[in-house]
Structure 1
Amino acid sequence: MDPILNSFAEFASTLSYRDLPANAVKAGKERLLDALGCALGAYDCETATLGRSLAGPAARPELAGRLLGSRELAAADAAAFVNSCMIRDLDFNDTYPGGHPSDSLGAHFAVAPQIGASGERLIAATVVAYEIFIRLQMKAQLREKGWDQGFGISVGAAAGLANLMGLSRDVAQHAIAITAVANMPMRASRAGQLSMWKGAATAYAVRNAVFGVQLAAGGMTGPEAPFSGRHGLTDLISGPIELPPFGTAPENFFIPRAKIKFWPVVYNMQALVWAAIELRKQVDVEKIESIDVETYWSAWHESGSEPAKWDPTTRETADHSLPYILAWTLRHGLIDHHAFVPEAYLDPSIRPLMNCVTVRVDDAFEKDFPRVVHMRVTAKDHAGKTYQAYVVNPLGHEDNPVSAAELATKFLRLAEPRLGKNRATAALELWQNIDRAANVKPAFDAAVVS
């Protein structure tokens, strides 16, 4: 017996839209819209383009999946890979400490329009994926042990897909078990100078989850105790864990804690951008002699603990580099896609300002994380005068949520270059009301790139 597997399979096979409280429905709709916008904004990214070139047809029609931004079909696992690459590429999609739950939605987006799923069904499946991912991130502490987020993403994707497809409890259990034992990626994907794989690693895990679900649906059985049994997760990697129970009360749902980004950088740097904007109002950037950043362990470890972050040579490293993000924002007053082209992050003139930056962990900030996010930046000018900016819970945090209008603006900013203003506005309205859709296919048709 594996109580974790049993609880995941039960949740995946029984949760329906009518079980969801209003806060979970609202959060699910917001995160679907946000993920779609991020995907459209990255429609022609390198990882997705490569994935499309390798995406062959499905062996049978029922195994096909939809490529986002297109009417084209491919094998569902390949389509899910491409979709998740697009969602992830800009580093603009939502996050929960340790990973990006919306990475899993590439699978949902591939399958939902093909099976004629309703909007309610898509929302419920999204909630399943998020709730399982977040619980694993909360308790297994895989990142701190050197393992990557793809494990939780793949398990959540498999469970969410089982829910979306209406699979039985037994089939859902086998799908989750197969996916769990086969997808434990290493955190090396996000160390040193980051490569294209940073934006494709979870897409690969999602692809594997889709195939695992298809195998289980076809009759493949999986290990009986992948989480709590011998040589399972708790035995080999995490140690004993107790996950928060599932339920139907508002407090039982953690999906509202998945943070929506306002800036296209790693979430731990959202507060840094706001701090830099505030600091820029106080001091002339050219007069800065030193900058001290106080933060929590995760932000330090991911973005300010290794030499590569002071000399980013890839886009993937630049959008995870604390010194670069801080220096760019101090210079320009904001940060957007212009910061992540080679001529920007390879510019030698920005290196001196980056080299003024030191980063350290504040124990009190670390103790409060992740429920409270702190970032304090103190600059000293050449005359010895100090200036300080202190940010708590930046926009997008669950206690400082992005408004409906702000989310709509973000979606349109990403979608209009692909769809045009009128079609982007029409797509926005459909997805804002996706819970009313008897069939989500027209909402996907509305997001086809010209």
Structure 2
Amino acid sequence: MSTARTLARWGLQPVGAPGDVEQAALCHLLDGLGAALAARRYGSVEAAVEVAAGLGGPPEANVVGVAAPVGAPAAALANGAMVHGLDFDDTHAGGLVHATAVVLPAAFAVGQQVGASGREVLDAALVGYETVCRVAAAAPHGFHARGLHATMVAGVFSSALVAARLLGLDEDAATDALGIAGSQAGGLLAFLGTDASTKQLHPGLASHSGILAARLAAAGASGPDTVLDGPHGVYDALSAVEADPGSVVAALGERWETVRIGIKPYPACQLMHATLDAVADAAATVPFDATQVAAVVADVHPDSAPTVCDERRDLARPGSPYAAKFSLPWSTAAMIVDGAVGLATYEGDSLARPEVAALAEKVSWQTSARAGHAADAPGRVVVRLVDGREITGTVAASSGTTANPMSVRQIRDKFLANAGPGGDEVVDVVTHLADQPSLDGLFAALHTASVPGGHP
């Protein structure tokens, strides 16, 4: 039996996830909604919201913060872009994918469309989390090495299976949905070093495509059940490394990747979080300020360097918020100058600071062979002061990763900081999602919490 059919069969069955897995999924859904509300308030993806409204369609689902419902694919397009709009959403280290950005939009949009209960939506989300993480992790860094955004490549499959489950498709149709979704996998990394917003759009495009794939399958369209196994499947076509398709379905329902998704403390590329934490550790060991720094040398995982230390870009003077979020030297300098990195770090006025650019010029890096995934790597920096002293900062793993997880309270606090006034009701509804008769209460609470156009 093909990998796609095996995955589809499992994805339609009762989930039966352990309590800790369900708790992890709820934390990730809450974190994703917080990221979406913050993006809405910052106006970071208004183009996607505008297009979703223009697409219209039957009144099936809501865009976060928008009262008038639109078609489910349109809602998923906007919500996916919002969850990922500030790069503050979660990351699965094994697949290097932003899981919630593709799972939440499909689960909530199709869940609203069919009037699903909270329990049904949560189960569909669990299927989605396992799918996106496993599809990406079967070719570690393989999509990125080919110049593709793994979140969109793998996200079309999770969104398709989430939609197939909620739409009540049978095994044959769900397998077709996965096959159709594979032909929509993509997402170029061409945005790196530019001010293009395509990265922000990728999760929404993936969610939109996955829902369309499920609808096409329901209408009788077919897709290849070899989409994951090949020949000419997604790994053959889009991965730069040899993949292990069998790992996508190995121990389904026994080994849960959902609990291996990390939550971000910083709104920037996960691949430099360990460096930022190491800087904080150095400063806690021997306090210093930016004027005392002569040089900073960071140890960087070899899989991280091409993304956050690409010298083809001006890493000390990034030209856009997203370029800064993918510049280890600039973000490290901002961490030293400000003592913290947050949403305001990457606003326009902050990017123009000459003192940060000057310090970023003093930040260098070295790669060293390390086992394990780049997003879970340890961090180490050596800060050399003008008086000759050297301060070393280290962390075994960055905060928020599975080796150094945030507490439920910390995740809640992050959500409330992102959501602003009115967020407490959303926390309560998401916490008890499995008991909700529908998603109506959740979207009412989200609408109350949203403050379009405002800043925290």
- Are 1:393 and 2:397 an aligned pair? yes
Residue 402, structure 1, aligned to residue 406, structure 2: yes
Residues 385 and 276 (structure 1 numbering): CA distance in 2 closer, same or farther, change over 3 Å? same
SS of the equivalent of 1:291 reads strand
2:375, 2:19 → 1: CA distance? 22
Give 1:317's aligned residue. Answer: 323
- CA drift of 1:36 comes to 0.8
1:234-274, CA deviations, whole angstroms, 9 ceiling, x for partnerless residues?
43344452433354655x11111110111222212222222
| Letter in structure 1 aligned against 2:336 | L
Name the CA distance, whole Å, in 1 between partners of 2:83 and 2:375.
25
Paired amino acid for 2:23:
K
Residue by residue, what CA displacement relative to the aligned partner does 1:114-154 show, whole Å, maximum 9, x if unpaired?
32212221111111111111112212232233222111011
Give, as a single letter, the amino acid of the residue that structure 1 aligns with 2:214: V
Residue 90 (structure 2) pairs with residue 94 (structure 1): yes
Shift, 1:196, TM fit: 1.4
Please give the residue correspondences for 1:151-230 in structure 2 after superposition, counting only pairs within 5 Å: 151-189=153-191, 191-230=192-231
TM-score by length of 1: 0.91
Helix, strand or coil for the counterpart of 1:378?
A: strand
Cross-structure match for 1:268: 271
- In structure 2, the residue matched to 1:305 is 310
Indicate yes or no: 2:17 matched with 1:20. Answer: yes
Given candidates 410, 413, 417, the residue that maps to 1:413 is 417
- The residue identity in structure 2 corresponding to 1:296 is H
| 2:80 equivalent in structure 1 | 84
> Which amino acid is the alignment partner of residue 98 of structure 2?
H
Q: Distance in 2 between matches of 1:322 and 1:4?
A: 38
Alpha carbons of structure 1 residues 167 and 249: separation in structure 2 relative to 1, 3 Å:
closer
**Counterpart of 2:51 in structure 1: which amino acid?**
L
C-alpha distance after superposition, 1:377-406 (max 9, x if no partner) = 101122322111001122211122211111
% same residue: 23
- Does the CA-based 8 Å contact 1:68-1:109 persist in structure 2? no
* Cα deviations by residue, 1:56-115 (Å, 9 ceiling, x for unpaired): 355545xx3321223321122121111011100111110013220111121222222232
SS in 1 for 2:114: coil
Assess if the C-alpha contact under 8 Å between 1:318 and 1:325 holds in 2. Answer: yes
Q: Distance in 1 between matches of 2:69 and 2:97?
A: 28
1:67 maps to 2:71: no
Tell me the distance in 1 between the aligned counterparts of 2:243 and 2:304.
26
Q: Which amino acid aligns with 2:162?
A: G
TM score, norm. by length of structure 2: 0.90
Say whether the 8 Å CA contact 2:118–2:434 is kept in structure 1.
yes
1:447 corresponds to 2:446: yes
Does the CA-based 8 Å contact 1:91-1:265 persist in structure 2? yes
In structure 1, what is the equivalent of residue 291 of structure 2? 286
Q: Deviations over 1:217-242 (max 9, x none)?
A: 22222234222233222433444524
Tell me, in whole angstroms, the C-alpha distance in 1 between the residues paired with 2:222 and 2:252.
Answer: 30
Q: Distance in 2 between matches of 1:197 and 1:44?
A: 19
Aligned match of 1:347? 353
* Residues 234 and 404 (structure 1), Cα distance of their counterparts in 2 relative to 1, 3 Å cut: closer
Q: Deviations over 1:173-207 (max 9, x none)?
A: 11111111222233323x32352112112222221
Note if contact 2:189-2:199 (Cα within 8 Å) is conserved in structure 1.
Answer: no
Q: Taking structure 1 as reference, are residues 394 and 235 closer, same or farther at Cα in structure 2, changes over 3 Å only? A: closer
Q: In the alignment, which residue of structure 1 is the partner of 2:28?
A: 31
1:344 is paired with a residue of what secondary structure?
Answer: helix
In 2: Cα distance, 1:246 partner to 1:437 partner: 32
Structure 1 residues without counterparts, runs of 5 or longer: none
| AA of the residue aligned to 1:102 | T
Task: Provide the alpha-carbon RMSD of the alignment.
Answer: 2.0
User: In the alignment, residue 211 of structure 2 is paired with which amino acid?
Assistant: V
CA distance in 1, matches of 2:338, 2:243: 47
What amino acid is aligned across from residue 346 of structure 2 in structure 1? F
1:367 aligns with 2:365: no
Separation in 2 of the partners of 1:146 and 1:128?
27
Q: Specify the SS of the correspondent of 1:387.
A: strand
**Would you say the 8 A contact 1:198–1:316 is kept in 2?**
no
Q: Which runs of 5+ in 2 are unaligned?
A: 452-456
Q: Distance in 2 between the 1:235 and 1:267 partners? A: 27
Per-residue CA deviation, residues 6-33 of structure 1 (Å, 9 max, x unaligned), is 122112222x24x211222111111111
2-side partners of 1:100 and 1:47: how far apart? 17
Work out the CA distance in 2 between the residues paired with 1:349 and 1:232.
Answer: 49
Using the alignment, how far apart are the partners of 2:386 and 2:57 within structure 1?
67
Please tell me whether residue 334 in structure 1 is matched to residue 334 in structure 2.
no
In 1, Cα distance between equivalents of 2:280 and 2:336: 6
Q: Secondary structure of the equivalent of 1:293? A: strand
Superposition deviation, residue 155 in structure 1: 0.9
Task: Specify the code of the residue in structure 1 equivalent to 2:315.
Answer: K
Q: Which residue of 2 aligns with 1:126?
A: 125
The whole-number CA distance in structure 2 between the counterparts of 1:285 and 1:65 is 49
Deviation at 1:369, TM superposition (A): 2.8
SS in 2 for 1:167: coil
